[in-house]
């Protein structure tokens, strides 16, 4: 894929969920896609090559999704985040709101992948991508 494609990291400890989302997004030939199974692994990947956007599961072993988002933002390794969670009672916390996340950035599993794709496009377009 050309380097010009925006980089997206999919962070989910469930390999099947991660692979399905990456497979779906790859069908559109718009993104450079990578996956990670833990927040720690994702941060290491981002240190090697930052991403424009990360799709983040909130319940992870070790570092949880919120801590990953805060760490990646503080280190300027990723600009935008979409939350992909199985917690139906999840709502955006004050610290995440302060980082610019809104309820529009939250997708509950099983998520409507087409709606998630549209939100990804909106966020990337805001970057001039």
pLDDT for position 91: 92
Provide the residue range defining the domain that includes 68.
Answer: 7-125
CATH number at residue 29: 3.40.50.2300
How many domains does the chain fold into? 1
pLDDT for position 128: 52
Task: Decide if 1 is inside a domain.
Answer: no
Whether 42 contacts 31, CB under 8 Å: no
Residue 56 phi/psi, 5° resolution? -125, 125
Query: pLDDT tens across 43-99, in order?
Result: 999 999 999 999 999 999 999 999 999 999 999 999 999 999 999 889 999 999 999
CA distances to 26, 31, 67, 73, 115 from 47, in Å? 23, 19, 16, 12, 29
Task: Decide if 2 is inside a domain.
Answer: no
* 16 pLDDT above the threshold of 70: yes
Task: Decide if 69 is inside a domain.
Answer: yes
Length of the chain: 129
């Amino acid at each position: 894929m050309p380097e010009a494609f925006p980089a997206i990291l999919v962070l989910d400890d469930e390999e099947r969920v991660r692979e399905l989302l990456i497979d779906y997004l790859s069908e559109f030939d718009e993104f450079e896609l990578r996956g990670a199974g833990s927040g720690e692994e994702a941060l290491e990947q981002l240190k090697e090559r930052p991403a424009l956007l990360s799709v983040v599961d909130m319940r992870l072993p070790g570092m949880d999704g919120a801590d990953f988002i805060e760490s990646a933002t503080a280190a300027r390794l990723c600009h935008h985040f979409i939350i992909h969670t199985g917690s139906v009672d999840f709502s955006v916390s004050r610290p995440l709101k302060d980082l610019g996340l809104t309820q529009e950035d939250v997708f509950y599993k099983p998520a409507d992948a087409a709606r998630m794709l549209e939100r990804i496009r909106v966020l990337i377009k805001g970057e001039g991508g």
